[in-house]
Homo-oligomer: A and B are copies of this chain.
Amino acid sequence: MPLSQTIQALSDANRRKILDLLKKGELPVAEINKKLDITGATLSHHLDILKRADLLSVRREGQQMIYSLNLSVFEEAAEQLVKFFEVKKPKNKSPQWRG
């Protein structure tokens, strides 16, 4: 997944909350919904975005849809972000733009 899509997925507070909840283990939609102050439709929309970013998987269990974190993708996203934040200290202090 491109970093842009991951960051995009993380850019909403409710979606971060969803990820946080799922870090502790899989959950059906209704359980997630209890923790968030949004309608089911809105939650479904957020879940869809996280799913398209490949951060979540779903399976059906009876009437319920059970969402879980895609651990490998989640960790890979973390690595990409860490890489983005890496700053290679330049040896020479001369500005890159003068001259």
CB distance from A56 to the nearest CB of B (A): 13
Where chain A touches its partner, the secondary structure class is helix
Chain B residues, CB < 8 A from A74? 85, 87
A–B complex contacts, Cβ < 8 Å, 23 sampled: A4-B16, A7-B7, A7-B10, A23-B87, A23-B88, A24-B88, A24-B90, A24-B96, A25-B96, A26-B95, A27-B95, A28-B97, A31-B97, A69-B87, A74-B87, A75-B85, A77-B85, A78-B81, A78-B82, A78-B85, A81-B82, A81-B85, A82-B82
Q: What number of copies of this chain does the assembly contain? A: 2
Q: A5-21 interface mask toward B, CB cutoff 8 Å, 1 = contact, 0 = none?
A: 00110110100100010
Chain B residues, CB < 8 A from A90? 24-25
Task: List residues of A whose CB falls within 8 A of some B CB.
Answer: 3-4, 7-8, 10-11, 13, 16, 20, 23-28, 31, 69, 71, 74-75, 77-78, 81-82, 84-85, 87-88, 90, 95-97
